[in-house]
Amino acid sequence: MCASAASSESDAILQCIQAVRADLALLVGQGSLADYIPELAKVDPSKFGIAVATVDGRVLSAGDADEPFSVQSISKVFALTLALGKVGDALWKRVGREPSGTAFNSIVQLEHERGLPRNPFINAGAIVVTDVLLAGHQPKEAIGEMVRFVRSLADDETIAIDPSVAESEKAHGFRNAALASFMKSWGNLVHPVELTLGVYFHSCALAMSCAQLARAGLFLANGGRSPLTGLNVVSRARARRINALMLTCGHYDGSGDFAFRVGLPGKSGVGGGILAIVPGVAAIAVWSPGLDVHGNSLVGTRALELITQRMGWSIFGP
Ligand code: GLU
């Protein structure tokens, strides 16, 4: 693309996200905070940020896009990428690839399916993925590897874990402990429950801004290669498949509705963030802490819906 076309595209994106932010101003603050993790209940519900990182390396942002927040389950995308790099398709013997249709922390389905989680983006699946990341490591090393990976993706050494969020989740993580213990009883967890959960909680407690998240997710929009660093993170085929899983499973039992309204692969977190991928074009990150009944950002989803409509970015057609 010539320089003037690229800059007019950037202008269009910037105008779009600024307009969306203004249009949704009155909705901000709606939804509920993830108070089952007490530290997340302290977040200011009026925060609202949007960042778009394009495959030609530009980052456009609006609102609170440079303020770090708790990425929570968005980290499951990075954990999955790392785990696939370690064990490849062998991962699919321990985790499925089907939408769950149940809540992110549901135990019902897990009992039915004998400790084999439906997909890597529900909590049970991500706990198994984390167990894979622990192989051959002490928990601290596995956590360090995750942080280094995300820093290298975003090309930003300042990204860190918020220890108070990790502690808060550990102190109240009874549901996750139940899921992990249940899977352990079926032999689908290799390491001790406490160790795997410790790494899982720390991964969820990564603090990143919308701009950092959009940059970190850019390899998925660019056939597996980061345009920021030139790093081949995954093959084209793997990037496509991670995107497919984000589309079908990235929003728990709200995944169908997200595909219907937004039309992009996406992954939400109960910190109120969403990372969405426009293949071949851009990665988008939004943050607004108020959640809908499924635990997905209410205003963040609406913002993505408006952005994809206005930019013609749905993967299902302009
Ligand atoms: N750390 C959260 C939990 O395990 C992640 C849930 C989410 O972000 O959806 O409950």
pLDDT of residue 126 exceeding 90? yes
Q: Is 226 one of the annotated active-site residues of the chain?
A: no
Res 1: pLDDT = 52
70 is catalytic: no
Same fold, 3-71+208-311 and 73-204: yes
Q: How distant, in Å, are the alpha carbons of 178, 202, 204, 260, 263 from that of 69?
A: 27, 14, 11, 27, 25
Closest to 128 in 3D by CA, of 92, 158, 164, 154? 92
The superfamily (CATH) of domain 3-71+208-311 is DD-peptidase/beta-lactamase superfamily (3.40.710.10)
Told to judge if 270 belongs to the known catalytic residues of this protein, a careful annotator would answer yes
Number of other residues whose CB lies within 10 A of the CB of residue 258: 27
Q: Tell how far CA 212 is from the center of its chain.
A: 12
200: annotated active-site residue: yes
For range 26-42, the mean pLDDT = 94
| Nearest protein Cα to ligand 1, atom 2 | 72
Please work out whether the CB of residue 295 comes within 6 Å of at least one atom of ligand 1. Answer: yes
- Least confident range from 20-29, 100-109, 209-218, 243-252: namely 100-109
For the chain, domain boundaries: 3-71+208-311, 73-204
- Predicted confidence at residue 2, as pLDDT, reads 56
Mean pLDDT of 64-82: 98
Distance 10 CA to ligand 1 centre (A): 33
Residue 318: the pLDDT is 86
CATH of 73-204, one of 3.40.50.2000, 3.20.20.70, 3.40.710.10, 1.20.58.100: 3.40.710.10
Mutate to test the pocket of ligand 1, among 162, 170, 270 (most ligand atoms within 8 A of CB): 270
Looking at every residue in the chain, the average pLDDT score rounds to: 95
Q: What is the pLDDT of residues 256-290, one digit of tens each?
A: 999 999 999 999 999 999 999 999 999 999 999 99
Q: What is the pLDDT of residues 163-209, one digit of tens each?
A: 999 999 999 999 999 999 999 999 999 999 999 999 999 999 999 99
Tell me the CA–centroid distance for residue 252 and ligand 1, in Å: 11
Task: Specify the pLDDT at position 105.
Answer: 82
Name the percent of the chain lying above pLDDT 70: 98
pLDDT 10s digits, 297-306 = 999 999 999 9
Distance from the CA of 179 to the center of ligand 1, in angstroms? 12
Q: Categorize the per-residue pLDDT at 101 as very low, low, confident or very high, splitting at 50, 70 and 90.
A: confident
The DSSP bridge pattern shows strands 273-278 and 266-268 to be antiparallel
Q: Is 214 helix (H, G, I), strand (E, B) or coil?
A: helix
